[in-house]
Structure 1
Amino acid sequence: MVVNKLAQRLERGPLLFDGAMGTEIYARGVAEPDCLEALNVSQPALIGRIHRDYIAAGADVIETNTFGANRFRLGEHYRESEVRQLCLAGARLALEARNAAGRPVLVAGSVGPLGRPIEPVGAIKRSGAERVFGEQIAALAEGGVDLLILETFTALGELELAVDAARATAPDLPVVALLSFDDELNPARAASALVESLSARGVTALGANCGAGPQSALSVARHLASLGGQRLAILPNAGLPHREAGRLVYSAGPQYFAEQMAELLEFGVSIVGGCCGTGPAHVQALRRRVDGAAPGRMVSPLPRRAEPGERQPEAPSTGLAAKLRAGEFPISVELTPPRGIDPSRMLAGARLLQEAGVEFANVTDSAMARLRMGVISCAALVQQQVGLETIAHFTCRDRNVMAIQSELIGAHALGIRNIFALRGDPPRVGDYPKATPVWDVNAVGLITILSNLNRGLDANGTPIGERAFFNIGAAFNPTADNPVKELRLLRRKLAAGAHFVLTNPVYDFAALALLRQVFQEVEVPLLIGAMPLRSAKQAAYLQNEVPGIVVPEAVAKRLEAAGEEAPQIGVEMAIAFFEELAQVAAGAYVIPSGGRYDLAAQVVEGIKSHRS
């Protein structure tokens, strides 16, 4: 039977881990390197000296300089092939310092997050993420570490993957698993989820690190301790940082840090130490508080809770949702935000449409990657000044995961609840072809984020308080080159939580077969897109230059033959198409061509007339 060295040692009393590695490197005058983990081979004397200084300060456990030594993070520095080399070097330096200590010291192999979003929010498969964690953990185990510390994770789901990888790759190594708690979050709910998940996975200790300072850590520790007997580990930052002479400086000094951390020991915390901004002086001050403290408590596994399902509002959350659920036929018309700071033309178009009986307006998000006023601002103006309920298009192109959630929460506060989730056109086709696309997530990931917000959770699965009431739309192109792939993607969007579907403009009656198949398969309403064409020239442009739109030759010829009457023919064709789709469409999505809201209004009036 393999002896758990960490658990055995904790029976005698709490353990003191070391402090930060990254900020300590910078504090010693080292310019910010491209890759901290590469210092294991380029400046081994520096890393070894930091380990020895922490041991001299009284640390019982030192951590390897391998926090970001996974394939993804190293790949940012073109070092993805050096995972094993840097992990082995990091383990060797820590072991050498331990062997020279003259007293028992344990070495913890440090493993941090992958640095990329994982499914269902991101594109990284869970199985792939677990393999990447396993590669790093295997190298640390080969290097001879005594335990693993999985630290600074912000997503419980990713931390679970790392723990599972550790159990599969190095089952004999004890695991300390730490989540970074946001000071703004509900610590009680987050703490409960952490204990419930990780105690069942057999970790030796669990808790929190990084985040804010020791006082915030006290709040987290109280909630964790209230959940029953458990081995807790708390390693906070030295307060919040500020920038000084180009460097981040943390304000909590050693004595203050130690005094605040001493209160943690009263809760029976088993492991204490420091994260960002803490150094050997902080560890030395804390050593005096640790000596003589009582042993910490063991984790008691909690009953496993059911996975939270999506909870729908008792009443429809938006006017659009209400009409769709009632089997009515909502019609929405697209509004294009202005290129400049004056929204009057857009608002005038919205009023014209309202007079024609339109109740909903789609507001685009810099479509075709062309600069426009922000979609949330425009949607709010339309709702507040005109009274049309909006469907805000929202893309992943320009926003990282944090910005996506921030804007969506703000949109909800402004009363914008219908969100059409899109990947977004690439910048290379628009006004700024050299702009950097973000795409932290794709459309499926965006829908997942929205669904999480509807459950009161952020993208990491962390509670945010009150749940949202978004009505989520997904895109579908019935004229896609690969309809099988397009239908498969739609199924993924629906599985992620989409409530309704909007299609590209449709001109080809051949697409009816696919639309009927979708109608039979899915249980969400389809709003079919139509753009009344104004000329044969426009038809040729859409067919040849705009991806995702198919205009049959017969349509173009009919417009050409119509001459000056082409705009009216375009309106008639759009109305006729909706007559053909009467059994499939749950609503209409009308897209004005060239800002011709008057033509869109005619289409709306025609649809209403034929349905009355």
Structure 2
Amino acid sequence: MSQLLDKLKSNILVADGAIGTILYSEGLDTCPEAYNLNHPDKVERIHRTYIEAGADIIQTNTYGANFEKLKAFGLEHRVKDIHQAAVQIAKKAANDDTFILGTVGGFRGIKQEDLELSSIQYHTEIQVETLVNAGVDGILFETYYDLQELTNIIEATKRKYDIPIIAQLTALNTNYLRDGTEINHALQQVTSSGADIVGLNCHHGPHHMQQSFSHIELPEGAYLSCYPNASLLDIENSQFKYSDNASYFGKVAKQLINEGVRLIGGCCGTTPEHIQYIKSSVAGLNPVTQKDVIPITKYINNTEKEPKKQNLKSKVENRPTIIVELDTPKHLDTETFFRNIKKLDDAQIDAVTLADNSLATVRISNVAAASIIKQRYDIEPLVHITCRDRNLIGLQSHLLGLSLLDINEILTITGDPSKIGHLPGATNVYDVNSKGLTEIALRFNQGINTDGDALKTKTNFNIAGAFDPNVRKLDGAVRRLEKKLESGMHYFITQPVYSKEKIKEVYEATKHLDVPFFIGIMPVTSYNNALFLHNEVPGIKLSDEILEQFEAVKDDKAKTKALSLKLSKELIDTVHEYFNGLYLITPFQKVDYTLELANYSKTITSTKQEAIL
């Protein structure tokens, strides 16, 4: 057994606190890890102040020193150099009895990351290998939001090295990880994967950490650790700060020791003063070997709300189904809009899809419009949700509001960047993309929000995804589609297509997927519209024959409309040869086009069904 683990058998050990907090307070203008190369004396001084405050253990200044995070500072090629320098600095500062932990931070944070676990593991193994070869006493995996990421990394490290592993998860909630796993159960999995010391760090201050640990059992074959933040985060004079509460921090440290913690340190906002108070507070305390665990009271109501209507996925799987897109107005004169909704409702269209400020252009809130539609009409609103305009807080609030309004059909989209719209200086959020938003909505369907807390009931979202077949390489688009399907999307809606060949191509490329499609058809309304689509919309190309036909009738509105409907009906014929789902995109509020095409679609599909019967 290592000296570190041997020491923990009968002792409480005190670790250091934050490094970045101190560097930022001194005017840090780059990443903290860069100081290992540029200002090693400053990092060494911080280590020394923690040791002088009573820390038995210090950690290397390498929390964010992975390839992906260092890219933002142009330092991705210095990963090994930064880690080697960090260990040398820590050794120079350490006393003979000081333990040095090599710190590795998690990749997957609160915001969605698209990195595959294999890539994460590759980059993490480089960090671990460098730290182990440089002579650390243990590896500290800290601030891991993703349980699978942490357990995979621990298992890979255990296979290669015989070195103590301290593994700490970070939870947004006091009782659950963001995937809904109870923290106690999660730490049992971390222990089973091979960690010697398991616990929590970051996000919560000492009070909420104590609440979490009151529900955590003493692990078999491992010890507990806790590195709380100094407090909840506050803002003063436009700067982030933590409470000046070092003495209070020390008092709560006693309670954490009584909950079974044997290794205690600090995370964001903590300073040598915090560690000094911890050291004096836990002096003379013995490790807890037995404790009473307070069970968590679960509040999830497993009774799902009964959907009032069959959802679109079920409909389109069983019969030809028509949905229509009708954009909300850019102004407050909504009379025409709702008159058109009434026409679609009377025509028994299955759903009306409402875009969310498409093309980054301000329109009336689609949720407000959908709420009125639910109150006045029988047609189902399908609400688009873009990730461009709302952060993680806003997106979740948005979903909760939709569920409250009994609006269950949603289309998750990443969203056009604001620079293409009429307000190019507007901020793009993109905390998540369409896949990440889908995963949030699916967790809501399980009765859990993104911090793992219970919603006390389940939502009933039926989630659509967008698919653009108008690309040069359709196989690449299908691979992206497959990733969307893996995220949990229930069905797909395509961008408009303008050739029978493209419809057949989409069928052949996607027929291996067990998922319904609504194929987009948007009538061409004029010769100028045809030229615009052909020349300015990426991916869309009209044949020379079609362009010539529209040019020939460009001065006759009646003939132009007749041609437009004729060509659209031919496309609809092909759609129904291969797909049940038809998505009619209303051009320029010309709902008469949409109604005629919807009626045509119903006529030919009902005729086919009668022939079959």
Corresponding position: 1:258 with 2:250: yes
Distance, in Å, in 1 between the alignment partners of 2:361 and 2:250 is 54
For the 8 Å contact 1:535–1:559, the answer to whether it is kept is yes
Look up the SS of the partner of 1:206 in the other structure.
strand
> Cα deviations across residues 197-233 of structure 1 (Å, max 9, x unaligned)?
3112110111111122212111211222277675211
* From 318, 322, 337, the counterpart of 1:331: 322
Look up the SS of the partner of 2:70 in the other structure.
helix
For the 8 Å contact 2:218–2:290, the answer to whether it is kept is no
For the 8 Å contact 2:586–2:593, the answer to whether it is kept is yes
For the 8 Å contact 1:559–1:569, the answer to whether it is kept is yes
Corresponding position: 1:74 with 2:70: yes
Question: Residues 21-36 of structure 1 correspond to what in structure 2 (within 5 A)?
Answer: 21-27=19-25, 30-36=26-32
* From 149, 164, 170, the counterpart of 1:174: 164
Equivalent position amino acid for 2:267 in 1? C
The offset of 1:590, in angstroms, is 0.9
Question: Residues 208-357 of structure 1 correspond to what in structure 2 (within 5 A)?
Answer: 208-225=200-217, 230-251=222-243, 253-296=245-288, 319-321=310-312, 323-324=314-315, 327-340=318-331, 343=334, 345-357=336-348
For the 8 Å contact 2:66–2:76, the answer to whether it is kept is yes
Aligned twin of 1:109:
102
> Cα deviations across residues 230-265 of structure 1 (Å, max 9, x unaligned)?
521111112212223454332262222122221121
Question: Residues 84-233 of structure 1 correspond to what in structure 2 (within 5 A)?
Answer: 84-99=80-95, 104-114=97-107, 122-164=113-155, 166-167=157-158, 171-183=161-173, 186=176, 189-225=181-217, 230-233=222-225
The offset of 1:491, in angstroms, is 2.8
Distance, in Å, in 2 between the alignment partners of 1:44 and 1:111 is 19
Distance, in Å, in 1 between the alignment partners of 2:514 and 2:14 is 56
Aligned twin of 1:525:
516
For the 8 Å contact 2:21–2:268, the answer to whether it is kept is yes
Q: 1:242 to 1:116 in 2, by over 3 A?
A: closer
Corresponding position: 1:48 with 2:44: yes
Look up the SS of the partner of 2:215 in the other structure.
helix
Q: 1:552 to 1:227 in 2, by over 3 A?
A: farther
Question: Residues 476-555 of structure 1 correspond to what in structure 2 (within 5 A)?
Answer: 476-517=467-508, 520-555=511-546
The offset of 1:35, in angstroms, is 1.5
For the 8 Å contact 1:72–1:116, the answer to whether it is kept is no
Look up the SS of the partner of 2:261 in the other structure.
coil
TM-score calculated relative to the size of structure 2: 0.86
The offset of 1:51, in angstroms, is 1.4
> Cα deviations across residues 294-316 of structure 1 (Å, max 9, x unaligned)?
335599xxxxxxxxxxx997966
In terms of mean alpha carbon deviation, does 268-277 or 225-234 score higher? 225-234
Look up the SS of the partner of 1:474 in the other structure.
strand
Distance, in Å, in 1 between the alignment partners of 2:455 and 2:144 is 17
Q: 1:523 to 1:189 in 2, by over 3 A?
A: closer
For the 8 Å contact 2:303–2:458, the answer to whether it is kept is no
Look up the SS of the partner of 2:162 in the other structure.
coil
Corresponding position: 1:580 with 2:570: no
Aligned twin of 1:600:
594
For the 8 Å contact 1:123–1:441, the answer to whether it is kept is no
Corresponding position: 1:417 with 2:411: no
In terms of mean alpha carbon deviation, does 200-209 or 397-406 score higher? 397-406
> Cα deviations across residues 249-294 of structure 1 (Å, max 9, x unaligned)?
3226222212222112112212112212222222122213322323
Distance, in Å, in 2 between the alignment partners of 1:448 and 1:360 is 23
For the 8 Å contact 1:318–1:471, the answer to whether it is kept is no
Equivalent position amino acid for 2:579 in 1? A
For the 8 Å contact 2:499–2:571, the answer to whether it is kept is no
Aligned twin of 2:609:
none
Corresponding position: 1:62 with 2:54: no
For the 8 Å contact 2:478–2:510, the answer to whether it is kept is no
Distance, in Å, in 2 between the alignment partners of 1:331 and 1:198 is 49
Corresponding position: 1:367 with 2:358: yes
Give the paired residue count: 591
> Cα deviations across residues 567-590 of structure 1 (Å, max 9, x unaligned)?
233234333432333342223211
For the 8 Å contact 1:396–1:424, the answer to whether it is kept is yes
Aligned twin of 2:297:
none
For the 8 Å contact 2:522–2:587, the answer to whether it is kept is yes
The offset of 1:116, in angstroms, is 6.8
Distance, in Å, in 2 between the alignment partners of 1:411 and 1:64 is 46
In terms of mean alpha carbon deviation, does 7-16 or 491-500 score higher? 491-500
Distance, in Å, in 2 between the alignment partners of 1:268 and 1:480 is 58
For the 8 Å contact 1:214–1:237, the answer to whether it is kept is yes
* From 6, 9, 15, the counterpart of 1:8: 6
Q: 1:335 to 1:215 in 2, by over 3 A?
A: same
Q: 1:330 to 1:111 in 2, by over 3 A?
A: same
The offset of 1:440, in angstroms, is 5.6
The offset of 1:402, in angstroms, is 6.0
* From 541, 555, 562, the counterpart of 1:568: 562
Question: Residues 454-473 of structure 1 correspond to what in structure 2 (within 5 A)?
Answer: 454-456=445-447, 466-473=457-464
Equivalent position amino acid for 2:10 in 1? R
Q: 1:370 to 1:71 in 2, by over 3 A?
A: same
Q: 1:261 to 1:437 in 2, by over 3 A?
A: same
Distance, in Å, in 2 between the alignment partners of 1:70 and 1:35 is 12
> Cα deviations across residues 356-394 of structure 1 (Å, max 9, x unaligned)?
322411111232333434444444444345553222223
Q: 1:266 to 1:125 in 2, by over 3 A?
A: same
Q: 1:317 to 1:236 in 2, by over 3 A?
A: farther
The offset of 1:115, in angstroms, is 6.3
| RMSD of equivalent CA atoms | 3.3
The offset of 1:11, in angstroms, is 0.5
TM-score calculated relative to the size of structure 1: 0.86
